[in-house]
């Protein structure tokens, strides 16, 4: 599991938004929350569980992609809401929940069993992430989409992101820092000229001139860069 939060005494009187605003490893997330107008929600609502991408997670997307996302506030809001779950789930809670789903992994992994291109598409966005010995469950986000959460050999993962610091307790919830930006299903955003992202294409014109009936995925370089526009 990622490093447990060691600042309980310092964060006990901070809100989620307040903690993010002062953490130098979360400055890009803080900027995104401010631009999207979610500060008040994370400052007074809750309790929430926030899976907080580090600065390095945003850097992996590339500046062009991040800048475009920052300029499209509706899409930015949806992406951020995909990182927030209503209710307070500590790493111990997540591990326990995932362990209880051992016999149901195929059902809780999502809807990635349709085969073909959909399996590839889901895999690129972090779905279908099961491995032997992995226990998995799901949490519903403020975006209305489900996140797969898993625990393997003491390591907690959210989709394809790893929790690097767990259980930062605040007055209105708990924060887990993760090493990747999570992308909602069906996402489609790639900055013009950006060759470092994974672009998920919803039904659109195919290279042969026809119309695709199912989402396809186009890999352009490094698969670690993922952002999306939610329909």
Strand ranges, E, within the chain: 3-4, 48-53, 84-86, 135-140, 146-152, 155-158, 161-170, 173-178, 198-201, 216-219
Residue 224, pLDDT score: 39
Q: Between 80 and 153, name the one with better pLDDT.
A: 80
Looking at the 3D structure of the chain, how many domains does it have?
Answer: 1
> Do the domain assignments include residue 196?
no
> Do the domain assignments include residue 204?
no
Residue 173's domain is classified under what CATH number? 2.30.180.10
Burial of 40 (0-12, 13-18, 19+ CB in 10 A): exposed
Confidence of residue 99 (pLDDT cuts 50, 70, 90): confident
Q: Structural domain of residue 125, as residue ranges?
A: 3-181
> Do the domain assignments include residue 109?
yes
Q: Which of 18-27, 95-104, 110-119, 188-197 has the lowest mean pLDDT?
A: 110-119
Question: Which tens digit of pLDDT belongs to each residue from 1-41?
Answer: 565 554 554 677 999 999 999 999 999 999 999 999 999 99
Q: Which of 91, 86, 15, 79 has the alpha carbon at shortest distance from 53?
A: 79
Q: Which of 44, 54, 53, 55 has the alpha carbon at shortest distance from 16?
A: 44
């Amino acid at each position: 599991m990622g490093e447990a939060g060691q600042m309980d005494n310092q964060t006990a009187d901070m809100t989620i938004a307040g903690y993010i605003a002062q953490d130098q490893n979360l400055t890009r997330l803080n900027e995104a929350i401010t631009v999207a107008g979610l500060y008040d929600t994370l400052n007074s609502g809750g309790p929430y569980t926030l899976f907080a991408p580090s600065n390095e997670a945003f850097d992996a997307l590339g500046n062009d992609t991040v800048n475009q996302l920052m300029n499209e506030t509706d899409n930015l809001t949806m992406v951020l809401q995909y990182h927030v779950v209503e209710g307070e789930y500590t790493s111990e809670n997540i591990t326990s929940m995932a362990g209880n789903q051992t016999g149901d992994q195929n059902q809780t992994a999502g809807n990635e069993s349709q085969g073909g291109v959909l399996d590839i598409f889901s895999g690129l966005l972090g779905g279908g992430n099961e491995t032997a010995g992995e226990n998995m469950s799901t949490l519903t986000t403020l975006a209305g989409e489900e996140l797969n959460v898993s625990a393997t050999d003491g390591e907690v993962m959210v989709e394809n992101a790893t929790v690097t610091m767990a259980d930062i307790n605040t007055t209105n919830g708990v924060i887990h820092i993760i090493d990747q930006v999570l992308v909602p299903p069906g996402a489609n955003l790639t900055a013009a000229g950006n060759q470092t992202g994974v672009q998920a294409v919803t039904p659109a014109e195919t290279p042969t001139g026809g119309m695709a009936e199912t989402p396809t995925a186009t890999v352009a370089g490094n698969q670690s860069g993922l952002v999306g526009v939610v329909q």
